[in-house]
Structures are given as structure tokens and as C-alpha cells.
Structure 1
Amino acid sequence: MNRFGLLSLCLVFVGLSCNPERVQYTKELKQEMADMKIKRVTNADLVSTVDNLGAKISAVAQRELAAQLEKTTDPAEQATLCKLQNLPKTQALARSYGLSIQLLGEADVQNKALSQKEREVLDAYLYNAEKNLPQISNIQKISDTLFIYNNPVPENSLICKTCFGDQKEQLAVWRLAFSKREVIRRMNTKNKK
């Protein structure tokens, strides 16, 4: 078979295998294609995005939890709410952004499931609560693929009183664990050059 015949045969096979009707453009495929695009991302961009997303998500979770706690006086239901169960908006945000949302307290300073950095930050929050110092949000890069956003709940909040009222210091801190991939997905890179 000559080169022309071999080339013709290859083109026929390629033409048969590239049937455009077979390709289904699902939402997942579109997302995967968007994820494959090259993006120029700096650490400052990542931290800024985590800060913006963390502030918005923790505010929604805090409003929802406080509203649900106001509606009940049942201690069992309050305990369930403090574990962030039966909070549909918060759970939907966690699924949508591919993140883990937790509410931490004073006892979590000793929680070995948290990284050493996280326990040190919680200890600093506890120190500030004991000394009545102002509390601010915090972002930690735990590994190459994990960012932790912490946002303290105001001490006079119903959340602190209900969920952590039995502790010496009524400390409540939101912990949002973002994967780097999900953060990059949500970054607005259109304005960047």
C-alpha cells in the first residue's frame, strides 16, 4: 500500500471515530475543559480568593446557625445544630465549594486531628479571648494543596453562648478547609494578563 492509500485509510478511521453527535457536552465536561485552561496564579491571588470566599461563606453559615438556634430551646436540637447538622445552606455551600466547614471551640486547641499550625492559631484566639483583645480572621497554608480560613464568632453571640457556654472562655471559631484546586476554579483570571 502506498503512502496516499495509507493516509486515506487513516483519515477514514479518524473521520469515523470523530462523530460529533457522540460527544455529550455535560456540565462536568465543560467544567473539566475550563479547569484544563492555563491560568497564571500567584500566592497573593490564592490568599485573596480564600479570604473573600471564606468571609462570605462563614457569614452565611453564622447567620443560618444563629437563626436556627433562636428558633429552638431543645438542648438536643441545639447540640445537633452546633455540630452544623440540619443547616441546608451551609451544607450546600460546603458541597458547592468542595470544602469542609467546622465550628471549633476552646477544647479544639488540644485536638490532634488539626495540624500544629491550626492548634497554635486556636491557642492565639483563646489568648485574645482571655485578654479581651480584638479577634480577626486568619488564613493558613497547611500544605501545597490545603488552605484553612479561620473566622472568630463574636463572644457575645448566641452561637458562643449556646454551643460553647460550658467552657471557661466562650470561644467559637469557624474553620473552612479549602482545597487549592477548588480555589483556583473560582478565581477570576479574566482581568489578569
Structure 2
Amino acid sequence: MTITHALRVHAFTLATSVAVSLTLLSCNPDRLKQTEALKQEMADKKIKRVTNADLNERVDAWGKQIAELAQKELEDKLKAGKSADSLCELRQLPKTAALAKRYALEIDLLGPPDIQNPKLAPKEREVLDAYLYNAENKLPQQANIQRIADTLYVFNTAVPAESPICKACFGDQKQPLAVWRLAFTKREIIRRISVKKK
């Protein structure tokens, strides 16, 4: 066997080994998961120019859509005669839970007692107090966005007074009132803003 022939055989064997290795690696589901995670990490590191107006616009749009869907799911379950206790705590609402996971946010249903809730930021308690004042005085309710410590965006919107949610979840209060609270983290909002749209 000549040296040239031996080199060709060696090169062919090496190329075959590399091709087989690459094929095996590409078929590995763990590798695919790692590739997806790597793609997400690379996307997260892309420089995006996102203004406060962009963040507010996204939170407002997502907040309105998510609150509307969560409200419909909760109302449908209440009308079907499901137990209000677990529903008002937003348990047994699979669509709402899926939305919370998809947007990496926290969804709560607040009422008059939450005006004293120490887990809420003072700004949030003030907004909730304003919603209660409007409800008591039959004034129109508006959606609201609060920025908390520059890392959290909280979207609030009141449930209409005629909705069965107010009576079922907070009917034992002097003024039944239900308010959606959707808490988005700034980092997750930025992650979900497409670079192409910017």
C-alpha cells in the first residue's frame, strides 16, 4: 500500500467517523433541548432598544388580552356551578395558568381586603383603594399600569360590577369589587419583544 493510498483510506475513515458522530449527536433529544436553550440565550443577549413607552404598550396590550381571557374562563366556570372558593383563588383555571406560564407573569384576583395587604407595594394598594372609591361612587373604572422598583410592571383592571365574579368572590364585602392584577417582570417583557418589530 502506498503512502498516498494509506492517507486516502485514513481520510475516508476519519470523514466517516465524523459523519456518524454528527448524525448520532443530531438525533440526541437532549442535544436538541440544549440547542433550543442556547438559541434562547443568544436571542436574550441581542441588543434591543426598548423604551419605557414600548414596555407600557406591551404590558397594556398583553394585560387587556390576558385579563379578558382569564375573566371569561372564571365566569364560565362560575356559571357552570363550580365551587367559587377554589375558582376565586384562580385554581382549576387551566387556560389562565397556561397564560401565566407563557408570559412568565403572576395573575391574581384582588378585592377590598387587599387594600391592607402588606405583600402589595404601597402604590398598588393606593390604586386598589382608588378602584374601590370609583365602585362606591359608580364612577368609570380604567385599566392601570404601575411600575414597581423599575423591575416589575403591574397591570390592573377592574371586573365589571355586573359580572358574577364580584358577587361570588367578594360578595361578603360592603362594596363587592374584583380587580385583576397581572405582574410582569421587566426582563421577561423585553425577552418577548421581537427584535424585528423594533
Q: TM-score, normalised by structure 1?
A: 0.84
What SS is found at the alignment partner of 2:168? helix
Instruction: Give, in whole Å, the separation in 2 of the partners of 1:173 and 1:29.
Output: 38
The residue type paired with residue 92 of structure 1 is: A
CA deviation profile, 1:40-87 (whole Å, cap 9, x unmatched): 000000000000111111111000000001111x6xx21100000000
The residue type paired with residue 80 of structure 1 is: S
Counterpart of 2:159 in structure 1 is 153
CA deviation profile, 1:133-170 (whole Å, cap 9, x unmatched): 00010000001211100011000101001111111111
Root mean square deviation of aligned Cα: 1.8
Instruction: Give, in whole Å, the separation in 2 of the partners of 1:31 and 1:66.
Output: 36
Matched residue pairs, number?
Answer: 172
Instruction: Give, in whole Å, the separation in 1 of the partners of 2:127 and 2:93.
Output: 26
What SS is found at the alignment partner of 2:157? strand
Deviation at 1:189, TM superposition (A): 3.4
The residue type paired with residue 176 of structure 1 is: L
Say which structure is richer in helix: 2
Counterpart of 1:71 in structure 2 is 80
CA deviation profile, 1:76-119 (whole Å, cap 9, x unmatched): x2110000000000011111111110000011111111010000
Counterpart of 1:37 in structure 2 is 46
1:48 pairs, out of 47, 53, 57, with: 57
The residue type paired with residue 84 of structure 1 is: L
Q: Does 1:183 align with 2:192?
A: no
Structure whose CA Rg is larger = 2
2:103 pairs, out of 97, 101, 111, with: 97
1:142 pairs, out of 140, 148, 151, with: 148
Deviation at 1:31, TM superposition (A): 1.4
Instruction: Give, in whole Å, the separation in 1 of the partners of 2:194 and 2:61.
Output: 12
Runs of 4+ in 1 over 4 A off after TM superposition: 19-23
Counterpart of 2:124 in structure 1 is 118
Q: TM-score, normalised by structure 2?
A: 0.82
2:86 pairs, out of 61, 75, 80, with: 80
Instruction: Give, in whole Å, the separation in 1 of the partners of 2:145 and 2:195.
Output: 21
The residue type paired with residue 67 of structure 1 is: D
User: For structure 2, which runs of at least 5 residues remain unmatched after alignment?
Assistant: 1-20
Instruction: Give, in whole Å, the separation in 1 of the partners of 2:94 and 2:177.
Output: 24
What SS is found at the alignment partner of 2:109? strand
Counterpart of 1:4 in structure 2 is none
Deviation at 1:25, TM superposition (A): 4.7
Identity of aligned residues (%): 58
Counterpart of 2:37 in structure 1 is 28
Instruction: Give, in whole Å, the separation in 2 of the partners of 1:140 and 1:54.
Output: 12
